[in-house]
Chain A
């Protein structure tokens, strides 16, 4: 399977995706998964009613595929799955789902950690939070950049 990625405009169901990812797996000893959910409050604590993830058809999919391919090249994993939402997302909904399969757990954990740090900074999205006081475009914060930098080549 290698690196499989998908961009979804409608609801993403992590439990369904994980069940599918596990199905028929008999060689690998480890599968990890991560679901990122939309928080109901902004970093400054303001309530958020919706998140709008603007995307560039073609470029956004390619950016996600590059990140997944990089994870496959970097870690000893058999399969990587990344599903990302785009468009309008409501609090509690899954924004992203990542699953990795590997012969051993360390590589599976690390690949999932790497995928999320890259997706949070390098995926071609533009994010707008909508609240009672209006809407605001969000850019990666210092913490996101520091997480991303953990994986930089020396």
Chain B
């Protein structure tokens, strides 16, 4: 039923966009995309990013916070496909 093109779109939609800010962005670049198959929490995502790229171990440092769809989120928050996750250090303020 699905054409190859539509499967491509399905895959794109189920990918999670991951953004990095501040010194984390300096180290890892601004964004990465990851297809999450199966249950995954914010904490799991940190570990998966480190498995894929050792430079991402910066995400395991204390004080590196996360947000899901632009709301601060704890490591135990379960992710759904298509959500936007970000990792960043404590705000510096303006």
Contact = CB atoms under 8 A, between A and B. Distances in A.
> Are A and B bound to each other?
yes
A32 to B, nearest CB: 18
B4 interface: no
A36 B94 contact: yes
B23 to A, nearest CB: 5
Contacts of A54: 21-22, 25
A119 B70 contact: no
Contacts of B88: 56, 126
B9 interface: no
Size class of the contact patch on chain B: 10 to 19
B43 to A, nearest CB: 20
B93 A119 contact: yes
Interface string B55-67: 0000000000001
B22 A58 contact: no
B23 A123 contact: no
A123 B19 CA distance: 18
A96 B86 CA distance: 25
A123 B89 contact: no
Size class of the contact patch on chain A: 20 to 34
Q: Which of B21, B22, B67, B89 has the most CB of A within 10 A?
A: B22
A68 interface: no
A128 B27 CA distance: 14
B92 interface: yes
Given A59-B67, A62-B70, A124 B25 contact: no
Interface string A110-143: 0000000001111111111000000001111000
Interface of A: 36, 53-56, 58-59, 62-63, 84, 95-96, 119-128, 137-140, 144
A81 to B, nearest CB: 15
B25 A123 contact: no
A124 B70 CA distance: 11
B26 to A, nearest CB: 8
Contacts of B22: 54, 126, 128, 137
The 6 closest A-B pairs by CB, nearest first: A126-B22, A127-B92, A120-B93, A59-B70, A121-B93, A123-B94
Interface in B30-52: none
